[in-house]
Amino acid sequence: MRIDVINVGDGACTAVESYVPDRGELTIIDCGTHPHSKVVTTPGVAAAAHLGGRLTDLDTIVVTHFDTDHWHGLLELADFYGARETARKAITLRYPGMPDLGERVSARQARAGLMALISTRDDDPLNLVRLKTAWEQVGSVSAVPLYRGDVFDANGRQWRVHWPPRQVDVTRGKKYAAAIREVLDLADDMAADGYTKLRDQFEEAYGAWEEFEDQPDAIEAVPHDADPRSEEEPVDPEDEADLDQDDDEDVDLDHVPEKHRAEFRRLVAKLDGLDNYFSLVLSVDDQFIVFGDIEGTALRAVVTETRPEFALAGHYGVMLAPHHGSHVAHASRLPAADLCICQSGSKHQGKNRLHELRHSSACHPSTWECGTICVTTW
């Protein structure tokens, strides 16, 4: 298996290829960079330039979660892919399913509310639903949500999904459902004042995602999240250290009416962590594991999981460090690895050293220091 971690600055983009007789198969996991990245401003172009003719073999796209630094470059990449005449074929787009948050908010409302808020926050006229549309210009696209316990084939290998769960624990579900409801209320309040963007984007997302996301159907046998913390349990200081971090401190909210800006900012901060919390975690045997941007309690739940169908291996060949290698909580509990690669640029690299100290059972190259990193495993 060949793993290319492509340097896109403060973002993520990885290509995985393995030898399959008579057919090439290429998987791209994420492609995007932080909107304020100074290193790479066109991650899709960077990925296309690196992959060259290999791009023709692309048949699987995995989006670990829908933050700009993980998906936006896939729009550019669709243009490059589409420009290749031989490229037209079936693409499978795999993304994290939205767990059931309980009765007050459906998974579809939660997804659409979260997407609308993110798109409005970034003042991005390209709603995330356009990702699927962009790739439909170049081939047929089937979009498949993934949950913990799922397995799928790509690159002639079997991939296992460790996160997100189909269901979250009741406390967390209530908390997030309430926050999503607040987003919907804010959308109505702002629309009443003549600013309809948030509500329009919610409605667009809600309508568009219906066709390719169903409610989680199978409920896991264990009726609670793997997160062992209960309401009574004292807060683990390691968790709080991460949850308080704000990734997008420099969000430009000038377009949001002043009256609603404080509430908007509060909800962005509250739900920012939600996207990361529901990031995909995927592995291929004990060779490769992708942590997306999970941190805090989600990371703890994944690394302390003991049920054999969901548990991690004790050692991996290559690991993509959680959250660009910028978070330290629970790093000491991560599995050992030959390489734990930090996908970092100027914004995240400052914390890589701390992660490295905590996660001492791996060697830590970063794209910030090394540029694009290519590894071959068995």
Binding residues among 216-245 for Zn ion as defined by CB under 5 A: none
Amino acid at the residue 318: V
- What separation in angstroms does the CA of 5 have from each of 284, 285, 339, 356? 16, 19, 12, 18
The owner of tokens 């996160």 is 163
Q: Which of residues 104-133 bind Zn ion (CB under 5 A)?
A: none
Instruction: Please tell me whether residue 3 binds Zn ion under the rule CB under 5 A.
Output: no
DSSP 291-322: -TT--HHHHHHHHT--STTTPPPSEEEEEE-G
CB of 177 to Zn ion, least distance (A): 21
- The rounded distance, in Å, linking the Cα atoms of 176 and 242 is 17
Tell me if 276 contacts Zn ion by CB under 5 A: yes
Burial 193-232 (b: 16+ CB within 10 A, else e): eebebbbebbebbbebbeeebeebeeebeeeebbbebeee
Q: Is 10 in the site for Zn ion (CB under 5 A)?
A: no
Does 293 interact with Zn ion (rule: CB under 5 A)? yes
Is residue 340 part of the contact set for Zn ion (CB under 5 A)? yes
Per CB under 5 A, the segment of 161-169, 208-216, 291-299, 368-376 that binds Zn ion is 291-299
Map residues 348-367 to x or -, x wherever contact with Zn ion holds by CB under 5 A: -----------x--x-----
Q: Based on CB atoms, which residue is closest to Zn ion, 190 or 301?
A: 301
Q: Which two tokens stand for residue 215?
A: 């409610």
Closer to Zn ion by Cβ: residue 4 or 67: 67
Give the binding range for Zn ion (CB under 5 A) out of 135-143, 182-190, 193-201, 320-328. 320-328
Residue position matching structure tokens 């959308």:
187
Q: How many other β-carbons are positioned within 10 Å of the β-carbon of residue 261?
A: 13
Contact assessment for residue 305 and residue 162, using Cβ atoms and an 8 Å cutoff: yes
Binding letters toward Zn ion, positions 60-99, x by CB under 5 A: -------x-x------------------------------
In the complex, residue closest to Zn ion by CB: 340
Based on the shown chain and the rule CB under 5 A, indicate whether residue 17 belongs to the binding site for Zn ion.
no
Contacts to Zn ion by CB under 5 A? 67, 69, 276, 293, 321, 340, 359, 362
